Amino acid sequence: MAKRKGLSDTEISAFCEQLGFMIKAGISLQEGLMLLGEDTQTEEGKELTGQLLESVEAGGTLAYALRESGEFPSYMVNMVEIGETSGRLDQVLESLRIYYERNEAISRSVRSAVTYPLVMIAMMVAVVLIIIVEVMPVFQGVFQQLGSEVPPFVQSVINFGAAASRYSAVIIVIVAAIVIAIIVMRNTKKGRDVMTGLTEKIFRKTSASIASGRFASAMALMLGSGMDVDSALDMTMQVVESKRIKEKILEIKKHTDEGAGFAESIVKTGLFSGLYGKMIVVGFKTGTLDNVMERIASHYEDEANRRINSIVSAVEPTLVAIMSLIVGVILLSVMLPLMGVMSAIG
């Protein structure tokens, strides 16, 4: 269940689900952690649950144990602390399960949307390089045997292939450096902020749906845990990665400080508009704002998935068409002059 570099959203969701179920069934926190440790298959998982159990048995709270382990995100630790203080730990754990489950579903969709085009592009580059480096020199030899000059375009392609072959080691090092840089950026806060900003610019609408959905999901979790709106906004600002959402939260807080209501401030900033804005107004008046936020988060998740699927559906034929066009142009630039030479000889 555990990983020493921090738990994934899937692992956190499973942890919250299992522990929350046992607490709801009337099992004490200590017994629940003990059962989790017995059920865990990996040594790392047993070590982590044993560490949590030892801390709780020493008189510490679950939130303290989670924080001391260093394996759980501060957002989860803060929410567990609120759950313990309010006596709603089982409800908070269930809300956390849904939150991290939804986060993982969105992240998985994004990874799929990014991975597939990258694989297609890599295959396309590999095919083109094989043609340029291995196939084109053969045609060059044929032209020379026939006593004909190689067409200028073909010669430039062959020269490019020769250069790529000559500096292949340098190219590999550069590509490896780029990959390592991306991995390092993903593991640092500043790097993630840069990548998030780039993603938001490239896939504006899809990124906006994902960011709005995560904001709504976080607000639903905190409001459902009994937190007031101001505190919920403060904590949500700490966990969201989107710069646009952070700016919107600051605008909302500014409007509320000036005397405007929360629902009115959200509509005014444009964070949620139209139907969602009306739903929030009604939810705020009826005291069901957490349920409304949960529904909005679910709607945004569905919308993000639809947009991601449409991007993947559009990218596949586009990349195939580009690859076919490149390969076709290269082969035609060789075959047509070659056929002309063969006809003249005939």
Is there a domain that residue 261 lies in? Answer: yes
Residue 1 clears pLDDT 50, i.e. is over it: no
Out of 21-35, 133-147, 228-242, 283-297, least confident range:
133-147
Q: Which of 68, 101, 134 is the last residue of a domain?
A: 101
In contact, 158 and 137? CB cutoff 8 Å: yes
Which DSSP helix (H) or strand (E) runs through 98?
helix 89-130
At 225-280, the pLDDT tens digits run 777 888 888 888 877 777 888 888 898 888 888 888 888 888 888 887 678 888 88
Give the pLDDT mean for 160-184. Answer: 81
Is there a domain that residue 198 lies in? Answer: no
Which range of residues forms the domain containing residue 64? 9-101
Listing DSSP states for 108-149 in one string gives HHHHHHHHHHHHHHHHHHHHHHHIIIIIHHHHHHHHHHTT-P
Is there a domain that residue 36 lies in? Answer: yes
User: Domain check: are 221 and 269 in the same one?
Assistant: yes
The whole-chain average pLDDT of the chain stands at: 80
User: Domain check: are 171 and 25 in the same one?
Assistant: no
At 205-218, the pLDDT tens digits run 777 787 888 888 88
Is there a domain that residue 197 lies in? Answer: no
Report the alpha-carbon distance of residue 339 to residue 296 in Å, rounded. 63
CA distances from 252 to 81, 201, 226, 267 (A): 26, 23, 20, 9
User: Domain check: are 301 and 153 in the same one?
Assistant: no
Q: Which of 101, 116, 143 is the last residue of a domain?
A: 101
Domain CATH for 46: 1.20.81.30
Report the alpha-carbon distance of residue 167 to residue 170 in Å, rounded. 5
Between the two ends of the chain, the Cα-to-Cα distance in Å is: 73
User: Domain check: are 80 and 159 in the same one?
Assistant: no
Give the pLDDT mean for 101-127. Answer: 78
* Domains held by the chain: number: 3
User: Domain check: are 234 and 159 in the same one?
Assistant: no
